[in-house]
Structure 1
Amino acid sequence: MQTGDFLLEIGVEEIPARFLNPALEQLKELAQNLLRENRLSFKEIKTFGTPRRLVLYVYDLAGVQESLVQEVKGPAVKVAFNQAGEPTRAALGFAKSQGVDVSQLVVKNLGPVEYVFAVKRQEGRPAGEVLADICPAIISGLHFPKPMRWGTLEVRFARPIRWLVALYGDQVIDFSYAGLRSGRVTYGHRFLSEGPLEIPHAGKYFEVMERGKVVVDPGQRREMIWNQVKELAAGAGGQVLPDEELLAEVTNLVEYPVALCGSFDESFLQLPAEVLVTPMREHQRYFPVRDARGKLLPRFIAVSNGNRDHLDTIRAGNEKVLRARLTDAAFFWKEDQAVPLARRVEALKKVVWQESLGSVYDKVERLINLSRYLARVFAVGEKELEQVLRAAYLAKADLVTNMVYEFPELQGVMGREYALVSGEDPAVAQAIYEHYLPRFSGDELPVTTPGRVLSLADKMDTLVGCFAIGIEPTGSQDPYGLRRQALGICHICLAGELVLPLQDFIGQAYEQYRGRVELKLEKEQVISHLLDFFAQRLRGILTERGLSYDTVEAVLAAGFDDPTGVWQRARAVEVFKTEPHFEAVLTAFTRAHNLSRKHDSTAVDPALLAHPAEAALYKKLNEVREKVAGQLMARDYRAALAAMASLRPVVDEFFDAVMVMVDDEKIRNNRLGLLKGVANLALDVADLSKLVAVPGDKLYT
């Protein structure tokens, strides 16, 4: 079959860097789905992009659709034809409705009955015709966080579309979209390329782009940037630490990257390192340069969208901009130190945290109370309790400093620095910084006790307050970062192996709001909603850690009030599934669970244990229960499961010797209570009925 490469280029005004990668993923998925739906085979699909273009490239696309053969079932043969074999009105009507001659109907058996079928063959259309239909659908199917309209058009896109290229081999795929007509004309780099560029053939596209000074492959641009950055840093006697987020953003800001090394006055190095890095990284997209020990050097590396012409002028411009920002930062640093951090807390009364939940000062008061509660839960010593409460009082004070007002990314960081220069305990200063952690996926976690306590209190206060007034994440909308807050609580507990009773913690946080603000949900409702919310977060964490789906579901079904306990139980079950004792535990649980599923009580009257087999099971169950209780207290869940395995022989003997569902109600309920006790023993670790059957396991055959 004849094949050819297909090119679709959507030329746009510069789109935000964060839009580019998701758009390219969508572009690939849309193209794959539409091409397959339209029966156009291909070898491979790749997408490329720069700030000014989104590119779809399909390798070895079939020149013609695959033909479509349809078989449509009609009436039964005995209805379609009379005894003489002549077609009836039913057959004639069916053939006409399907657009075939009655002589073309075929007969097929469906079980014992024969039916007539109309076989219709739809010949495939040329690829060019099909592509002209699906290209507008591909473009219109792209979605962006903040689309815009332009001119009088109803079309929405990330930024205005300025040209369209669509080629199948050397053939232009003709279609219209957003007031533009597709063609073979593209445009190169905004400054380094002059005028339109004609693409004679789809296969020549990358060659034309190279001539137009555009590196259209993001992977190639990324590699060019990183190599240049490392080379320049080494030339300046330093290094640049890996920063995937910044590198990805810079990659999507340029079409032809050229890195340059700039400098700033060494006097600025007296400022805290974060005060220098934040303007460089967050505002200017510069790579900070450090020495071998990680200390900042008075150097930075910027990436220009152009060639090496006039680099000295570009460098001077970047240095001037950075100097202005660092001068402002130095001024804020000096001015803010004039007021001790503790004296700024009162100003928080005028800062609204959430319009329905009061001021930031109100939040501080709740943090103090919640921190005191957590200190009791974790048995924090008197010295650390003082540090926790002081840190809770000062935690938000840096929000009213000049530095954080100008650079909001520095909240917590400046709280730590201003606490230190105000003479606060270093442990208090560190807790102020740590209470915002983790700030994003993969971020560092608080490691000090005061930091952990304060971070947990702050996050739960936010979660409970928002849920209580009806603010819950929906779809991709999560303006208060509630998923991140809940994940943070889980990760902090797991990393520190903290035993935190979620239900009681949520209830304590709710009480801090009661009577002070108008809440939409009652305490029990908030607890229920948030526990479900945490279950979803825990499910994701355990799955990411490599635990099997059935293990996760089994453990969560047994309870998840303590995130650390959930992880420990899941890990024990996952390991135990590979051990010889596992079959014995699963057999004992399954047999007991299946029969006692609908029985609610574990009550057993020893006087009603008439048969030696049930008396033996009762005795053994009490022995194992006592042993397991100690192991559960010590959180040795694997040992607890192993202890349960010893029930297997007596459970088997019980079922071999005793009829459970007897007519005598008292005897029946007594035996069901005994089995319920066996089943419930495992439920302290996991609901083993959730575990997926092992292929070939004799329990499930």
Structure 2
Amino acid sequence: MAKHLLIELGLEEMPAYVVTPAMEQLGGSIKKFLEDNRLTFTSIETFSTPRRLAVRVRDLADRQTDLTESFKGPSKKIALDAEGQFTKAAQGFVRGKGLTVDAIDFRTVKGEEYAYVTKHEPGRPAADVLQEVTSVLKNLTFPVSMHWGSNTFEYIRPVHTLTVLLGDEALDLEFLDIHSGRTSRGHRFLGSETIIDGADTYEENLRRQFVIADAAEREQMIVDQIKALEKEHNIHVEIDQDLLNEVLNLVEYPTAFMGSFAPKYLDIPEEVLVTSMKNHQRYFVVRDQEGKLLPNFISVRNGNAQYIDNVIKGNEKVLVARLEDGEFFWREDQKLNIEDLAAKLSQVTFHEKIGSLAEHMERTKRIAAYLAAKAGLTADETAQLERAASIYKFDLLTGMVGEFDELQGIMGEKYALLAGEDEAVAEAIREHYLPSGADGELPQSKLGAVLALADKLDTLLSFFSVGLIPSGSNDPYALRRAAQGIVRILTAFGWAIPLDELLTSLYQFSFDNFTYSKKDEVLNFLLARVEKMMAARVPKDIREAVLSGSTLLIPQMFAAAAALTEAAQGEGYKTAVESLARVFNLAEKADLSVSPDPALFENQEEARLFDAVSDLQLGADAAENLSHLFALSPLIDAFFDQTMVMVDDQAVKNNRLALLRALTDKAKQVADFSQLNTK
């Protein structure tokens, strides 16, 4: 008879960012464990709070399904000796399956007899199989771990309880010296230890102890409570999903409330107020119906509404202290001089192996000047870029950014405008930090994009030059993020700057105290980012073919990958690719010093292919380029039907190889077609 299975692991409070991924990992791991062990079920539900991770498996079979498997062994002539006795090969075969030679029977496969055995494994009771389920808990992985007491085993946080119920029955298991049972813990302050009666009663048992175990239910409670406050006070609350996810995983029993602060603090830049509330206090921002910031905030208490007035006062007091700091720094920073701050960056270390921030800015300025011409900036824009590159890190020495480092760049723009800097210069100062994440907002202005590109390029080249190269998952200086930012900016703005040409130019720069090195490693690192960004949408063979192209123009690489991916679903793809792949395979043998000479052609097919290749013009439209190349397929096939390339006459052979090479030189602007899979 099927029963529900409940597994709950009770821990000390986990960091909020760990809770949801750990819950999902546990659910997936339990599912795999049950499937691997042939235990059927109808569904798996997951639960989590800061102090627990749990799963409930519905309708778990009472025993494993039986397993019957047939295994093919050695051929009969190997399995039996001349006397018809089983050889060591046959004995080893059955021993590996836990059987004897008596289980062997011979079956004919494609005209030859082979030894076969059939193994039948009856299913074990579910309760017996579940004795091993703690291995799933042991193998969970976390971004950070710790050990406690005399334990040498590391885990995300100390473990206090383990509840494993099969229906109403508590299973006797052990994990990290914790014996399982049916005891769980309620809310830290409002609840107490509680007995879980059965897998079906889990949520209700905990609800009586002020714990909402279902994360989705807890989230909906928060949203509903915020909506109620909106209606009550005629306000609009920004429910930022990332903030909601964090708050959700900080509380077990949520109660939303609204607090306030003095209207005078609204004179501080909005970004400071929002950062203080969202990033530092985990408060939701409150606006009026027109979107204007109000002197209020919404927070969520981990508990019920009892003594809520005291909670509101305490939160208001903490926030005011933050806002006082913000007001002070806003006032005092305006007394500072941008030139003085920029000059002091020579005393701030960028990295001890690389030099100061001022030196980093000087290299960035050189790179930006080079990129300005490539990006087609006007003389005025180039002058604005030069100014921005001379000061763009100055706000790191302001009090505001020292207190609220999330505002770097944002405050740089505001202070630059207050100091009378050009708006384009101020905007570039803010945008040079973009994108701040894998899918983050990109710079919108050309100046900001060029400055961001230059800053990220020097960061990447500098750290690689001193050997600080990411390995495995270790990337303390966020160089993968910088590389992805470079790729995304070049793609978004469509700048036709080949990566190899770009790096070759930058590596020719000389600086007083620094020299770039490891160019090949940087190029491969950037191309690895390109491939990773393609991976979700582009098959592996197409990625590899495009990355092997000769242009290394990032926008064209993405466009070519998209065009090939789409074309692979249509008719004629296989034929056209195989024709071009044949050209690529032979063209590798061409003498690079030879150019095709029509005087050496011996048939019309050579001449026709030569004319088509000569007329072939590939532009910026990848789909159109691919169409032009695929249109050559009949000419290529006719060429090979009528022409032997590898003839004895050396001049004729080299001429034909040179013709094929001329085609691949152009086709590589799209991809190396020899790497495409048409099977």
Q: CA deviation at 1:662?
A: 2.6
What is the aligned partner in structure 2 of residue 152 from structure 1?
Answer: 150
The DSSP-based 3-state class of the residue aligned with 1:7 is strand
1:235–1:474 distance in 2 versus 1, CA, 3 Å: farther
Aligned pairs for 1:243-642 within 5 A: 243-510=240-507, 516-517=513-514, 523=517, 526-544=518-536, 546-559=537-550, 561-574=552-565, 586=577, 588-601=579-592, 603-622=595-614, 624-625=615-616, 628=617, 631-632=618-619, 635-642=620-627
Q: Unpaired runs of 5+ in structure 1?
A: 694-699
Quickly say closer, same or farther: Cα 1:549–1:291, change in 2 above 3 A: farther
Whole-Å separation in 2 of the counterparts to 1:589 and 1:440: 39
How far 1:574 moved relative to its partner?
4.8
Amino acid at match of 1:152: S
Deviates more, 1:92-101 or 1:461-470: 92-101
Deviation at 1:106, TM superposition (A): 4.0
CA distance in 1, matches of 2:451, 2:90: 79
Task: Please state whether the residue corresponding to 1:224 is helix, strand or coil.
Answer: helix
Q: Is the 8 A contact 2:107 2:116 kept in 1?
A: no
Distance 1:650 1:169 in 2: 72
Contact preservation (8 Å) 1:287, 1:302:
yes
8 A contact 1:464–1:509 mirrored in 2: no
Q: How many residue pairs end up in the alignment?
A: 677
Gap change, CA 1:511 and 1:303, over 3 Å in 2: farther
Residue 501 of structure 1 contacts residue 561 of structure 1 at CA under 8 Å; is this kept in 2? yes
Q: Structure 1 residues 320, 659: CA separation in 2 closer, same or farther (over 3 Å shift)?
A: same
> How far apart are the structure 1 equivalents of 2:45 and 2:451?
47
Q: 1:85 to 1:415 in 2, by over 3 A?
A: closer
Pick closer, same or farther for the CA change 1:170–1:385 going to 2, 3 Å.
Answer: same
Using the alignment, how far apart are the partners of 1:55 and 1:191 within structure 2? 21
Tell me if structure 2 keeps the 8 A contact 1:278–1:409: yes
Pair 1:512–1:395, CA change in 2 (3 A):
farther
Note the 1:169-208 alignment, pairs <5 A.
Answer: 169-193=167-191, 195-208=192-205
Structure 1: distance between partners of 2:276 and 2:36: 49
SS in 2 for 1:475: coil
Of 654, 664, 671 in structure 2, the residue corresponding to residue 669 of structure 1 is 654
CA distances 1:545-568 after superposition (whole Å, capped 9, x unpaired): x45554433322214632122233
**What residue in structure 2 maps to residue 697 of structure 1?**
none
Q: 1-side partners of 2:200 and 2:98: how far apart?
A: 42
Name the CA distance, whole Å, in 2 between partners of 1:12 and 1:580. 57
- Deviation track 1:252-311 (CA, whole Å, cap 9, x = no partner) reads 111111111111111111111111011111110001112344331111100111111111
Q: CA 1:265/1:82 → structure 2, altered by over 3 Å: closer, same or farther?
A: closer
Please say which of residues 157-166 and 671-680 is displaced more in the overlay: 671-680
The 1-side partners of 2:380 and 2:235 are apart by 42
For structure 1, which segment, 577-586 or 476-485, has the greater mean C-alpha deviation from structure 2 after superposition?
A: 577-586
SS at match of 1:589: helix
Which residue of the partner structure matches residue 643 of structure 2?
658
Question: Separation in 2 of the partners of 1:196 and 1:580?
Answer: 66
Q: Which sits farther off after the overlay, 535-544 or 449-458?
A: 535-544
* Cα distance change of structure 1 residues 89 and 264 upon mapping to structure 2, 3 Å threshold: closer
CA distance in 1 between counterparts of 2:201 and 2:142 reads 30
Give distance in 2, aligned partners of 1:18 and 1:384: 42
Contact 2:584 2:673 in 1 (8 A): no
Q: TM-score, normalised by structure 2?
A: 0.92
1:149 to partner: Cα distance: 1.2
- Cα deviation, 1:136-176, whole Å, max 9, x if unaligned, reads x1221122222111111122211111111111112211122
**Matching residue's letter, 1:489:** I
Q: Structure 1 residues 323 and 656 mapped into 2: Cα distance closer, same or farther (>3 Å)? A: same
State the identity %: 40
Secondary structure in structure 2 of the residue aligned to 1:338: coil
What is the aligned-residue RMSD (CA, Å)? 3.0
**Aligned-partner Cα distance in 1 for 2:513–2:326:** 38
How far apart, CA to CA, are the structure 1 residues paired with 2:98 and 2:546? 59
Q: Alpha-carbon deviation of 1:691?
A: 3.6
Q: Structure 2: how far apart are the matches of 1:401 and 1:84?
A: 93
Offset of 1:72 from its aligned partner? 6.6
Distance 1:555 1:234 in 2: 55
TM score, norm. by length of structure 1: 0.89
- Which residue does 1:22 correspond to in 2? 21
Counting only pairs closer than 5 Å after superposition, residues 229-240 of structure 1 correspond to structure 2 as 229-240=226-237
More displaced, 169-178 or 111-120?
A: 111-120
The verdict on how the C-alpha distance between 1:331 and 1:169 changes in structure 2, with shifts beyond 3 A counting, is same
SS at match of 2:47: strand
Q: Name the aligned partner's letter for residue 469 of structure 2.
A: E
Is the counterpart of residue 61 in structure 1 residue 46 in structure 2?
no
- TM alignment of 1:91-240, pairs within 5 A: 104-109=102-107, 111=109, 119-135=118-134, 137-193=135-191, 195-240=192-237
Asked if the contact 1:51–1:252 (Cα under 8 Å) also holds between the matched residues in 2, the reply is: yes
Cα shift at 1:422 = 1.6
Q: Which amino acid aligns with 1:533?
A: F
